[in-house]
Amino acid sequence: MKKVLIILVLLIVGFVIYGATLGLFEKVEVNVTKVGPYKFVYAEHKGSYMKVGKVMNNIFESLNKDFGIKAERGFGIYYDNPKLVKKENLRSSVGCVLESEYFSQEDKIKTKFGIMEYPVTQSITAEFPYKNMGSIIIAVAKVYPEFSKYMEANGFEQTESLEIYSMKDKKIFFSMPLKKKQGAQ
Protein backbone atom coordinates (compact mmCIF):
# COMPACT_ATOMS: atom_id res chain seq x y z
CA MET A 1 0.00 0.00 0.00
CA LYS A 2 2.86 2.35 0.85
CA LYS A 3 4.47 1.76 -2.59
CA VAL A 4 1.19 2.56 -4.35
CA LEU A 5 0.87 5.81 -2.38
CA ILE A 6 4.46 6.82 -3.21
CA ILE A 7 3.90 6.07 -6.91
CA LEU A 8 0.65 8.04 -6.88
CA VAL A 9 2.33 11.04 -5.23
CA LEU A 10 5.21 10.90 -7.72
CA LEU A 11 2.76 10.76 -10.64
CA ILE A 12 0.83 13.76 -9.32
CA VAL A 13 4.03 15.74 -8.75
CA GLY A 14 5.21 14.81 -12.25
CA PHE A 15 1.92 15.95 -13.83
CA VAL A 16 2.02 19.23 -11.89
CA ILE A 17 5.60 19.93 -12.98
CA TYR A 18 4.82 19.03 -16.59
CA GLY A 19 1.66 21.18 -16.49
CA ALA A 20 3.71 24.07 -15.11
CA THR A 21 6.10 23.87 -18.08
CA LEU A 22 3.09 24.09 -20.43
CA GLY A 23 1.66 27.16 -18.67
CA LEU A 24 -0.78 25.60 -16.20
CA PHE A 25 -0.03 28.30 -13.62
CA GLU A 26 0.30 31.23 -16.04
CA LYS A 27 -1.85 34.24 -15.25
CA VAL A 28 -3.93 35.45 -18.20
CA GLU A 29 -3.81 39.20 -18.70
CA VAL A 30 -6.51 40.60 -20.99
CA ASN A 31 -5.62 43.81 -22.85
CA VAL A 32 -7.38 45.99 -25.41
CA THR A 33 -5.28 46.89 -28.42
CA LYS A 34 -5.28 47.15 -32.20
CA VAL A 35 -4.46 43.88 -33.96
CA GLY A 36 -3.30 43.50 -37.55
CA PRO A 37 -3.03 43.93 -40.40
CA TYR A 38 -2.03 40.43 -41.45
CA LYS A 39 -1.96 38.40 -44.64
CA PHE A 40 -2.83 34.76 -44.20
CA VAL A 41 -2.32 31.71 -46.42
CA TYR A 42 -5.23 29.52 -45.47
CA ALA A 43 -7.65 26.68 -46.02
CA GLU A 44 -11.19 26.42 -44.69
CA HIS A 45 -11.94 23.73 -42.12
CA LYS A 46 -15.27 22.44 -40.90
CA GLY A 47 -15.38 20.17 -37.88
CA SER A 48 -13.65 19.83 -34.54
CA TYR A 49 -11.15 22.57 -33.77
CA MET A 50 -8.91 19.83 -32.36
CA LYS A 51 -8.32 18.64 -35.95
CA VAL A 52 -7.05 21.90 -37.49
CA GLY A 53 -3.40 21.08 -36.74
CA LYS A 54 -3.19 18.66 -39.65
CA VAL A 55 -4.50 21.31 -42.09
CA MET A 56 -2.07 23.88 -40.71
CA ASN A 57 0.87 21.46 -40.94
CA ASN A 58 0.01 20.62 -44.57
CA ILE A 59 0.11 24.33 -45.43
CA PHE A 60 3.42 24.82 -43.57
CA GLU A 61 4.98 21.89 -45.41
CA SER A 62 3.64 22.93 -48.82
CA LEU A 63 4.78 26.53 -48.44
CA ASN A 64 8.28 25.31 -47.65
CA LYS A 65 8.45 22.52 -50.27
CA ASP A 66 6.50 24.09 -53.14
CA PHE A 67 7.26 27.80 -52.71
CA GLY A 68 10.48 28.00 -50.66
CA ILE A 69 8.66 29.89 -47.90
CA LYS A 70 9.71 29.24 -44.33
CA ALA A 71 6.59 30.13 -42.36
CA GLU A 72 7.21 30.85 -38.69
CA ARG A 73 3.70 31.64 -37.51
CA GLY A 74 0.57 29.57 -37.83
CA PHE A 75 -2.89 30.96 -37.28
CA GLY A 76 -6.50 29.99 -36.82
CA ILE A 77 -9.63 32.08 -37.06
CA TYR A 78 -12.37 30.28 -35.15
CA TYR A 79 -15.82 31.51 -36.11
CA ASP A 80 -18.05 29.51 -33.78
CA ASN A 81 -18.32 29.01 -30.04
CA PRO A 82 -17.78 25.27 -29.41
CA LYS A 83 -20.10 25.50 -26.40
CA LEU A 84 -22.96 26.53 -28.70
CA VAL A 85 -22.21 24.77 -32.01
CA LYS A 86 -21.94 21.02 -32.62
CA LYS A 87 -18.39 19.81 -33.23
CA GLU A 88 -19.09 18.76 -36.80
CA ASN A 89 -20.42 22.24 -37.67
CA LEU A 90 -17.55 24.32 -36.25
CA ARG A 91 -16.04 26.62 -38.90
CA SER A 92 -12.48 27.90 -39.06
CA SER A 93 -9.86 29.27 -41.42
CA VAL A 94 -6.37 27.99 -40.64
CA GLY A 95 -2.90 28.23 -42.09
CA CYS A 96 0.16 30.45 -41.88
CA VAL A 97 0.93 34.13 -41.59
CA LEU A 98 2.44 35.32 -44.86
CA GLU A 99 5.37 37.58 -44.02
CA SER A 100 5.88 40.71 -46.15
CA GLU A 101 9.06 39.35 -47.77
CA TYR A 102 6.88 36.73 -49.53
CA PHE A 103 4.06 39.01 -50.74
CA SER A 104 5.52 38.88 -54.27
CA GLN A 105 4.62 35.16 -54.42
CA GLU A 106 0.91 35.67 -53.73
CA ASP A 107 -0.23 34.82 -57.28
CA LYS A 108 1.66 31.50 -57.22
CA ILE A 109 0.38 30.65 -53.73
CA LYS A 110 -3.21 31.39 -54.79
CA THR A 111 -3.05 28.48 -57.23
CA LYS A 112 -3.03 26.14 -54.22
CA PHE A 113 -4.37 28.04 -51.18
CA GLY A 114 -6.50 30.99 -50.30
CA ILE A 115 -4.96 34.29 -49.23
CA MET A 116 -6.88 36.63 -46.97
CA GLU A 117 -6.18 40.00 -45.50
CA TYR A 118 -7.03 40.53 -41.87
CA PRO A 119 -7.60 44.24 -41.26
CA VAL A 120 -6.58 46.29 -38.24
CA THR A 121 -9.18 45.61 -35.55
CA GLN A 122 -9.69 46.90 -32.02
CA SER A 123 -9.56 43.68 -30.01
CA ILE A 124 -9.10 42.11 -26.65
CA THR A 125 -5.83 40.19 -26.54
CA ALA A 126 -3.81 37.81 -24.40
CA GLU A 127 -0.54 35.94 -24.79
CA PHE A 128 0.37 32.49 -23.54
CA PRO A 129 3.59 30.43 -23.67
CA TYR A 130 3.77 27.87 -26.47
CA LYS A 131 5.61 24.58 -25.99
CA ASN A 132 3.44 22.01 -27.76
CA MET A 133 -0.20 20.94 -28.25
CA GLY A 134 -0.58 20.68 -24.47
CA SER A 135 0.13 24.42 -24.19
CA ILE A 136 -2.65 25.14 -26.66
CA ILE A 137 -5.16 23.04 -24.72
CA ILE A 138 -4.25 24.73 -21.43
CA ALA A 139 -4.24 28.19 -23.04
CA VAL A 140 -7.69 27.73 -24.56
CA ALA A 141 -9.05 26.56 -21.19
CA LYS A 142 -7.59 29.63 -19.47
CA VAL A 143 -7.86 32.45 -22.03
CA TYR A 144 -11.42 32.12 -23.33
CA PRO A 145 -13.10 32.22 -19.89
CA GLU A 146 -11.16 35.46 -19.24
CA PHE A 147 -12.27 36.84 -22.61
CA SER A 148 -15.89 35.94 -21.77
CA LYS A 149 -15.68 37.70 -18.39
CA TYR A 150 -14.23 40.83 -19.99
CA MET A 151 -16.81 40.92 -22.77
CA GLU A 152 -19.74 40.37 -20.42
CA ALA A 153 -18.51 43.02 -17.96
CA ASN A 154 -18.01 45.59 -20.73
CA GLY A 155 -21.07 45.00 -22.93
CA PHE A 156 -19.38 43.25 -25.85
CA GLU A 157 -20.64 40.21 -27.74
CA GLN A 158 -18.51 37.24 -28.62
CA THR A 159 -17.08 37.35 -32.14
CA GLU A 160 -14.68 35.13 -34.04
CA SER A 161 -11.35 34.59 -32.37
CA LEU A 162 -7.88 34.75 -33.88
CA GLU A 163 -5.01 32.67 -32.56
CA ILE A 164 -1.46 33.09 -33.86
CA TYR A 165 1.10 30.43 -32.95
CA SER A 166 4.65 31.79 -33.07
CA MET A 167 7.28 29.08 -33.13
CA LYS A 168 10.03 31.71 -33.11
CA ASP A 169 8.72 33.58 -30.04
CA LYS A 170 7.28 30.44 -28.42
CA LYS A 171 3.99 32.24 -27.75
CA ILE A 172 0.34 31.92 -28.64
CA PHE A 173 -1.33 35.25 -29.33
CA PHE A 174 -5.11 35.33 -28.80
CA SER A 175 -7.41 38.11 -29.97
CA MET A 176 -11.12 38.72 -30.37
CA PRO A 177 -12.48 41.81 -32.15
CA LEU A 178 -14.62 44.05 -29.99
CA LYS A 179 -18.26 44.42 -31.01
CA LYS A 180 -20.79 46.11 -28.73
CA LYS A 181 -23.90 44.13 -27.89
CA GLN A 182 -27.12 45.44 -29.39
CA GLY A 183 -28.48 48.11 -27.06
CA ALA A 184 -25.25 48.34 -25.01
CA GLN A 185 -23.71 51.74 -24.39
Residue 33 lies in a domain: yes
Is residue 125 very low, low, confident or very high in pLDDT (cuts 50, 70, 90)? very high
Q: What are the tens digits of pLDDT across the range 126-169?
A: 999 988 777 788 888 999 999 999 999 999 988 999 999 998 89
Task: Quote the pLDDT of residue 2.
Answer: 74
Asked, for residue 72, whether it belongs to a domain, the answer is yes
Asked, for residue 152, whether it belongs to a domain, the answer is yes
Confirm if 160 and 82 have CB atoms less than 8 A apart: no
Of residues 185 and 101, more confidence is placed in 101
Q: Is residue 38 part of a domain?
A: yes
Task: Report the pLDDT value the prediction gives residue 24, as an integer from 0 to 100.
Answer: 55
**Confidence check: pLDDT of 7 > 70:** no
State residue 181's pLDDT score.
79
pLDDT at 75: 96
Q: Is residue 1 part of a domain?
A: no
In this prediction the pTM is 0.84
- Euclidean distance between CA atoms 176 and 121, whole angstroms: 9
Print burial letters for 107-120: b (CB count within 10 Å at least 16), e (below 16): eebeeebebeebee
Q: What is the mean pLDDT of residues 96-110?
A: 95
pLDDT for the residue 96: 96
- Which pLDDT tens digit goes with each residue over 15-33? 555 555 555 556 879 999 9
Assess if residue 18 is contained within a domain: no
pLDDT of residue 76: 96
* Residue 122, amino acid: Q
Residue 46 inside a domain? The answer is yes
Please give the tally of structural domains in the chain.
Answer: 1
In a domain, 132, yes or no: yes
Say which CATH number the domain at 34 has.
Answer: 3.20.80.10
**Residue among 46, 96, 104, 44 nearest 73 (CA):** 96
Please give the residue range of the domain that contains residue 60: 27-177
pLDDT digit string (tens) for 43-101?
999 999 999 999 999 999 999 999 999 999 999 999 999 889 999 999 999 999 999 99
SS3 at position 174:
strand
At 69 the pLDDT is 94
pLDDT for residue 158: 87
Residue 42's pLDDT is: 97
